[in-house]
Amino acid sequence: MTITNETETASAVGLDVRPLSGYIGAEIFGVDLREPLEPAVVAEIRATLLKWKVVFFRDQHVTPAQQIAFGRQFGEVTPGHPTLPTLEGHPEIFPLDSQAYSAGLKSGFQVRSLWHTDVTFVHNPPMGSILRGVVIPPYGGDTQWTNLAVAYETLSEPLRSFIDGLHAVHVNQIHLERGDSSQLQKLFTSTRYETVHPVVRVHPETGERVLFVSPNFTERIVELSNTESQQVLSLLFNHLATPAYTVRFRWQPDSIAFWDNRATAHLVPTDYGHLGFDRVMHRITIAGDIPVGVDGGQSEAREGGSFS
């Protein structure tokens, strides 16, 4: 894949697209997300998303309702989360609040931050996620994304051929860095989800092959022994986190990130919890399709089923 890092301008619809790194991420200027967008603008944003995998907007003073309305121009907006609480009055919004993180530290447990693709434990993981910065710390709290299509492409040909035919089990689980939180674990797994996805999925819009494993939710590879599975997944997890394939975004109030959940993983920041700053984010997700592997086979739902 050849991608340049030059500024691009979608002059036909007035958008100013500014790539942020060599493989992933672009800022889009020249659009007001508070109002319904013209079809040509929606199409241009979608095309930019497909190319750069995650796009960012600055100074978008949107309400929760306007954030939801923006998302609906790209597909069906799902409930905020399959098992966790949503924003009062807006069930489509999943709030991420640093006060909950701080409460966890005080009670002796800490959730481990791992690279992940959102909600891969359901049969039809989201097509995309849209995250808005509501309360942003003066420093710290950056989010990182990685390009899973490039991660696949840069594996050696023999390894690509090997993993093309593999399938992995994804479950809704929480990894703790320290301590124990049976209450959080019970809430997160209040509905049990288990899905077998292809290790390599074919992107439904671009046709790209994408490395579709998630350190947070991928448990094991079906066709391998437990020891082999652990070793292969460790290799793939380390590879997808290669810094060259990533972008790091510095949040500001009213910044918005919109990522293609079919072709990216991201990393939740952990460098601000000890600082005493509040950080509040609002996320919505757009319903996705059932992943398809290189052989044309679809994912298999074992427990929990689809989510929409």
What CA–CA distances, in Å, run from 199 to 57, 126, 207, 287, 299?
31, 17, 15, 20, 10
Q: Which two tokens stand for residue 242?
A: 């290669």
Cross-strand pairs, 266:
116, 145
Considering 123, 266, 279, 282, which one is annotated as catalytic? Answer: 266
Considering 46, 81, 118, 197, which one is annotated as catalytic? Answer: 118
> Is 116 a known active-site residue?
yes
Q: Please answer whether residues 148 and 265 qualify as being in contact, where contact means their C-beta atoms are separated by less than 8 angstroms.
A: yes
> Is 239 a known active-site residue?
no
Residue-wise burial string across 115-137, b where 16 or more C-beta atoms lie within 10 A, e elsewhere: bbbbbbbbbbbbbbbbbbbbebb
> Is 266 a known active-site residue?
yes
Considering 116, 197, 262, 282, which one is annotated as catalytic? Answer: 116
- Pairing outcome for strands 54-57 and 26-29: parallel
- Nearest CA among 130, 199, 131, 125 for reference residue 162: 199
- Nearest CA among 232, 248, 51, 216 for reference residue 155: 232
Dihedral of CA 71/2/157/206: which sign? positive
- By annotation, the residues acting in catalysis are 116, 118, 266, 283
